[in-house]
Amino acid sequence: MDCLKTMPTIEVNNLTKTYRVYQKKEGLMQAIRGLGKREYKQVQAVRGINMQVEQGEFVAFLGPNGAGKTTTLKLLSGVITPTDGTATVLGHVPWQREDNYRRRFALVMGQKNQLWWDLPAQESFRLHQKIYRVPEEQFDATHDELVDLLGVRKLLGQPVRELSLGERMKMELIAALLHSPDVLFLDEPTIGLDVVAQHNIQKFLKHYQQERKITILLTSHYMKDITALCQRVVIIANGQMHYDGSLSGIIDEFGGHKNLTLQFPEGIENLPDLAMYGKVLEVQTPRVKLQVQRSEVGQVLASILSVHPVDDISVEDPPLEEVIANVFSTATDPGEDASA
């Protein structure tokens, strides 16, 4: 008996977005000539992305500035139309902008506001209720749950412009979730927030996603967001995908070295020169930190221990931020253009 295969929540096939950008030249005369004859160039913001996301996944969507992350989220939200390719979210084609689809997803952009600036957040929440036609009982229950989870009840009557950045982001999340979407697109939700505010947002998102089993696609430049929330990572650069897999798999695939920390005996007068074994990262007597190729760790340790007395050893993977940065730098072609 054949098993029925469920459709992915998000399915993307060869998704492409190209912009035609006017090239304005410097100087008055060039500007005048440009009135009659304009020059344009093609900018490929997204280049043939293929991806599937299953129901209930929390996926990190990473890339350097200009990689095409925000453009992809806008395509999946139906804000813009692709140049080529196909995509479905919850069985809907996003850029057809069907009302049934609009009621099933939400988009939160850390640098954009959806709340009325001069009004209390509670007024915007009521407006969202009417826009999404949320029944009164459902609205009250969801509203109270979100307000209590984020601890902002005392702030509901305060104009949004008087709130801190962290408080505003909490209100933005409440507004986005009032209609109980099945898919949530988050574009830099913790940008500009302090450590405490970042932690609070992370804690809320993790709890909410686990309770509701919604599908979330997250872009962020803060690796703590990624490690706290996501098991799967998709990396794009220049609008193209370069990695799709587990968080731990990034280090296995792109972390070509290990960091060794060697603790020598106290009172040692001269630390040994370990440059022949690898790259010396740090020297703090009596401790030395050394970067060694992953495949050579065993051999290097054996060689050092056969010659030098060592009190303690630690072997660690390089920091995730470092590995991701290396992926970005190797994947980015400076001769090509892309859009954020």
- Residues 93-105 pLDDT 10s: 999 999 999 999 9
pLDDT of residue 336: 43
- Residue in 165, 218, 219, 229 with CA at minimum distance from that of residue 193: 165
Cα 315 to the chain's mean position, in Å?
28
Counted residue by residue, the chain has a size of 340
> Could you count the other beta carbons within 10 Å of the beta carbon of residue 198?
21
Per-residue model confidence (pLDDT) at position 151: 94
* pLDDT score, position 339: 45
pTM of the model as a whole: 0.83
Q: Element (H or E) spanning 31, and its range?
A: helix 28-36
DSSP state of 318: P
Residues of the chain with pLDDT under 70: 1-5, 22, 27, 30-32, 34-36, 331-340
48 CB-near residues (< 8 Å, 6+ apart)? 14, 15, 16, 84, 85, 240
Q: Which of 14, 19, 63 is nearest to 41 (CA)?
A: 19
Q: Which two tokens stand for residue 315?
A: 């072997």
Q: Are 90 and 9 in contact (CB under 8 A)?
A: yes
Residue 31 has a pLDDT of 66
What is the spatial distance between Cα 89 and Cα 92, in angstroms, rounded to a whole number? 5
CB 160 within 8 A of CB 121: yes
Contact between residue 15 and residue 49 where contact means Cβ atoms under 8 Å apart:
yes
Tokens of 324: 């991701």
**Residues 41-91: tens digit of each pLDDT:** 888 889 999 999 999 999 999 988 888 899 999 999 999 999 999 999 999
Q: Which of 217, 154, 220 is nearest to 192 (CA)?
A: 220
